[in-house]
Amino acid sequence: MGAHSQPTTVARDAGAGAPAVLPAVTSLTRRMLAGEEAAYRTFHETYYPRLARYLLVVAHGDEDAAREALQATFVRAVRHIKVCDEEARFWNWLTVLARTAFADQRRKRSRYRAFLDRFTEHARIAAPLADADPNEARLLAALESSLRTLPPADRELVEQKYFERESVRDIATALAASEKAVESRLSRVRRKLKATLLELLKHETGS
């Protein structure tokens, strides 16, 4: 039997209220594993709506969070695809990927929020940033973009101090530098981040 004449299965799509016609999952996953482009298109067309609805429930109606997690889910599915012989098992695997993607995304957001709190406290720019951008999601995106502009050594220093919460003393010991030198570097990096953040926000608001 040809690849495009495989039997289909009918499964109840949770929340949809009507049966969904699904491709034979063994054939589909085998073709995906072989890198067949048509199989990936079928996979996307079949499971994108289901996973979108599933993640919208997981995200409690937060469409932006669900959309980001959905994109990450598909990337992970393509990267780790394996042959599966049961649609229910395949769907369960996809939902695990989806929940993991959503949880990872939420942890990342929490990490940036925590950094933002500490950063604004040290840099003393909380008021200008709040005035410039009341939308936290946009502010976090601007912060992430600003961090990417830093040289690798400066970005690593920021991550050690604010993300991993290492003490200045421990960082200084690891770098074979004085605590005063580390504090000075951190101060310069905070000023650089402040300038980049405000410039990004200014550009986005068109002011």
Domain end residue (candidates: 77, 106, 135)? 106
Can you give the CATH number for the domain in which 79 is found?
Answer: 1.10.1740.10
Q: What is the pLDDT of residue 33?
A: 92
Residue 19 inside a domain? The answer is yes
Mean pLDDT estimate for the chain: 77
Quickly list DSSP for 143-157: HHHHHHTS-HHHHHH
Better pLDDT: 95 or 204:
95
Q: Count of domains in the chain? A: 2
Q: Give pLDDT tens digits for 148-169.
A: 888 888 888 888 887 777 888 9
Domain end residue (candidates: 72, 106, 140)? 106
Domain, as residue range, for 132: 124-205
Contact 193, 146 (CB under 8 A): yes
Confidence (pTM):
0.47
Q: Give pLDDT tens digits for 106-126.
A: 777 666 666 666 555 544 444
Statement to judge: residues 50 and 138 lie in one domain:
no
Q: pLDDT > 90: what percent of the chain? A: 35
Domain end residue (candidates: 106, 140, 171)? 106
Can you give the CATH number for the domain in which 164 is found?
Answer: 1.10.10.10
Statement to judge: residues 85 and 157 lie in one domain:
no
> What secondary structure letter does DSSP report for 3?
G
HSE of 36 in the Cβ direction (CA atoms, 13 Å)? 14
Q: Give pLDDT tens digits for 5-34.
A: 343 443 444 444 433 445 589 999 999 999
Q: pLDDT > 70: what percent of the chain? A: 70
| Cα dihedral sign, 31-33-34-36 | positive
Statement to judge: residues 95 and 145 lie in one domain:
no
Q: What is the pLDDT of residue 34?
A: 92
